[in-house]
Amino acid sequence: MTDPKHPDGKDFVSGVDSNAKREPRRVVFVTRRTSPQVKVADEEVVQTFPEVLFRALVAIEVLAIVLVWIALLFNAPLEGLADPSHTPNPAKAPWYFLGLQEMLHYFPPVVAGVLVPMLVIIALIVIPYFNINIEAEGLFLKDRRRRLRIFYAGALALSLFLLAFDVIVALIPTLVVAAFMILAAQSSPQSPSAFRRYLASKPLSYWIMTWFLFELVVLTAIGTFFRGPGWSWVWPWRS
């Protein structure tokens, strides 16, 4: 068989050779009842395009359908027209800002309205430039004693800071997350309990994000259901 693209018009000669530079051409002989398709298993890492992009588009479409369906079935809890001569008591921000408004009850306005949001924004900018744990290994799987000392010091400093400002509602999530982190430090990937193996495998980023979301949910729930006139503490089942 002659190769028409070859300048010398040489013929293909089948043979066995492991030198790809000397013999760059490869011929595959497909016999009966066989297929040239290569059978592969699912890989842990996939290409961003089109695999990940396609999955993101599917998730966005499903979320949009669910939101439209909820909007058609349930009316938005809107109040009456705004009256400039009558300010509601308490004047609450939208629910997504109630966590920040709840912090104004404990901290000075400069701290709750300026410093804390600014530190969060700076952290979101700076954290991607840190040495990221690519393997996502457990926080206490290596150098456990030194990391435990750092953890105890950080947890104690944060707890004292919250106690100094009498932020008990924010101290409770901190203590709960700290208790689970101590349990994770005493666990290992060989623990008999599946839950303890799960905790032992979580990296530092998991614990930081868990604490942040826990605090956000608690502060938002308190600002929504437990704050009455004058931003005083009220029970939601009492008028």
Region 105-119: mean pLDDT is 85
Task: Please choose, from the candidates 231, 210, 211, the residue with its C-alpha nearest in 3D space to the C-alpha of residue 103.
Answer: 231
User: pTM here?
Assistant: 0.66
DSSP 81-100: ---TT---SS-PPPGGGHHH
pLDDT value at position 2? 44
> Residue 29 — pLDDT band, cuts 50, 70, 90?
low
Segment 145-203, tens digit of pLDDT = 888 999 999 999 989 988 888 888 889 999 999 999 999 999 888 888 899 999 998 88
b/e per residue, 91-114, with b = 16+ CB within 10 A? eeeeeeebbbbbbebbeeeeebee
Find the length of the chain.
239
pLDDT value at position 59? 96
Segment 34-44, tens digit of pLDDT = 665 656 666 67
Instruction: Using the predicted structure, report yes or no on whether residue 112 has a pLDDT greater than 60.
Output: yes
> Residue 114 — pLDDT band, cuts 50, 70, 90?
confident
Residues linked to residue 233 through DSSP beta bridges, in sequence order:
227
pLDDT value at position 4? 52
Between the CA atoms of 229, 167, 225 and 76, what dihedral angle is there, to the nearest 10 degrees? 100
pLDDT value at position 1? 46
Rounded Cα distance between 194 and 236, Å, is 38
Considering the chain, what is the average pLDDT of its residues?
A: 81
